[in-house]
Structure 1
Amino acid sequence: MSSDNLFKFARIAGVASLMAAAGLLSSCQVKPLYAVSTGVTQKLSEVSFSDATSRVGQQVRNQLIFIAGRGAGETKTPKYTVDLGVSSGTGGVIYLPSSDTSGAGRTTVTASFTLKDASNGKVLKSGSRSVTSLVDFPSQEFAKQRAIRDSEDRAAREVAEMVAADIAAALSR
C-alpha cells in the first residue's frame, strides 16, 4: 500500500468515526429534572407534607415545602401527599482523655418518606435518606448546644433536598 492510499484510508476512517460519534450523541435525550416541559414543577406544587413531630422534623418539612412550592408555601388542594418521618441524633467521635469529653462529633438526620396519590392512596414512591453533618464541640455548654443545633439544621436542609429530588423523580415518570 502506498503512502497516498494509507493517508486516504486514515482520513476516511477518521471521518467515519466522527459521523458515528455524532450519531450516538444525537440519540441522547437528557432533560433537566425541574424543566417546565416535564410538568414536575406543577406536580411538586401540588404535594402536601405530613406534620412534624420534632424540631428537626419541622426543619425538614419547612425546607420541603419551600422547595416544592418554589417559595409560595404549602398547597391548599394537594393531589399528592407525603408521609414524613424524621429522626436525628448527635454523638461524639473524638474523645479527649484529659477530660473524658468529646471535642468533635457528628449529627445524623434520617428522613423516611412515602409519596401517595391523594385521590386513591396509591403509593408512588417510598424511601429513606440520611445525611451526616460534622460538628465541633466548644467548651462552653451554650455554644456546644448551638453548634449541635446548627449541625442539625445543615443536615436537615441537605436531607430535604435529597427527598425533594426523589419525589421530583417519581413525579416525572
Structure 2
Amino acid sequence: MTRRTLPRALTATTGLALLLLSGCTATPAEPTASEPAPSAAGEPSAEATPAPTAPTPSTVTCETVLTPDAYAELEADGLTPRDATAHTPFMGDLLDAGALGCRWAKDQSDIAFWVARLPVDGETWPAWETALTAAGFTQGDDPVPDAYLGPVEPGSGIAPVVVRTDDAITYVSAPDFAVWIAPAG
C-alpha cells in the first residue's frame, strides 16, 4: 500500500467512522438481542461469543501488533495512537473478551484505523469461527491466507477483515491493511 492509497482507503471510511464514533461510550454497551453475550460460566453457548483462553500476551501491544512498515505509513499519513473504541459489534465482542484494542486517527479529521488481537487456541477457535459466521464474515484467502471478510459497511463500501493465525485472531478495519498484521510471537 502506498502513501497515496492509504488516505483514500481511510477516507472511504469517513462516514462510517463518524457514525460509529458518534455512539461510542467509555464503557462497553450491554449486549442487545442481536448481539451475543458470553455465558456466565465463560463457556461459549450456541448464542454466546466465546471467552478468551488466555490474556493478551505482554509481547503484543499496539506498538508491536503491526509491521514496522505499517507504523511508518501511519506516521507519514498523520495518524497517531488513540484510545481504542469498537469499530464494529464484532470488534466490540473481541474487546469484551479481553482482546488488545488499538486505534490510530488523524487530528481534526474522521480518518481512523482499528486493530484488535485476541489469543485463540485450537479449543476455542470453533466457537469464534461460529461467531464470525453469525456476524456475517466469510472465509477466504483474500487479502491474506485465513482471512474472514466481514460485511461491507453501507456508508463506506469497505469491509473489515479478521485474520486467523495458530494462536490468535486479528481484526483490521479494512482488508487492504491485513498485510500490516505482524506475525505473532
Given the two structures, how large is their TM-score scaled by the length of structure 1?
0.28
Structure 1 or 2, whichever has the larger Rg, is 1
Higher strand share: 1
Given the two structures, how large is their TM-score scaled by the length of structure 2?
0.27
Which protein has greater RCO, CA pairs closer than 8 Å, 6+ apart?
A: 2
Higher helix share: 1
